[in-house]
Amino acid sequence: MPRLFSVLLPAATLCCALAGAAHAQSPADVKYRCGGIGSDESTQMREEMKSHPLSLLFAKPDGDYLADVQVSLSDTQGKPLQEWKASGPVCLVDLPPGRYKVSARSGDTSRDREVNVGATPVRLDFRF
């Protein structure tokens, strides 16, 4: 019986590892927080950017911040992962490493960017 157990244990470990890998890209693993209205909150959110894998910043070409931007996050094959309306000009996004497509829309203007999220925090600026 010990020999059978030693064969089953690695198979069970592989099964659980594969299940975990599939789970790593699930929408439940994407968490975000948006804000940055007012100078104190804006300063705090911008300081926190370095602590999150992905940060998004929304502004007009002249540098004025934008809120109420519609954001969509998908994998590079187009599978939707998360969608939200940014309540402020800064969004801090926590998600597993990988390649993603970020789409942002303000009014009639849309911007799409692909991003590689890894060990170093990434910041995307969207100007509308």
What's the pLDDT score for residue 6? 38
Whole-prediction pTM value?
Answer: 0.77
Does any domain span residue 12?
A: no
Q: Is residue 8 situated within a structural domain?
A: no
Average pLDDT over the chain, rounded to an integer: 84
Residue 3 located in a structural domain: no
Q: Return the pLDDT at 29.
A: 84
DSSP 8-state secondary structure symbol assigned to residue 68: -
pLDDT at residue 19 in the model: 38
Domain that holds residue 119: 29-127
Q: Quick check: is 6 in a domain?
A: no
Domain contains 2: no
Chunked into runs of 10 residues, the chain (128 residues) has average pLDDT values of 40 38 52 94 94 97 96 95 97 97 97 96 97
- Where are the strands (E) in the chain, listed by range? 31-35, 54-59, 69-75, 80-86, 90-94, 98-106, 109-117, 122-127
Other beta carbons within 10 Å of 87: 15
- Asked if the structure places residue 22 within a domain, the reply is no
Tokens of 22: 């599939």
- The answer to whether residue 109 is domain-embedded is yes
- Nearest Cα residue to 56 out of 77, 84, 76: 84
55 forms beta bridges with 92, 123
Distance CA 105, CA 112 (A): 9
Percentage of residues in the chain having pLDDT higher than 90: 76
Sign of CA dihedral 86, 87, 88, 91: negative
Number of domains in the chain: 1
* pLDDT the model gives residue 33: 97
pLDDT of residue 15: 39
Query: Domain holding 43: CATH number?
Result: 2.60.40.10
**CB distance 67 to 86 below 8 Å:** yes
Q: What are the two backbone dihedrals, phi and then psi, of residue 53, each rounded to the nearest 5 degrees? A: -60, -35
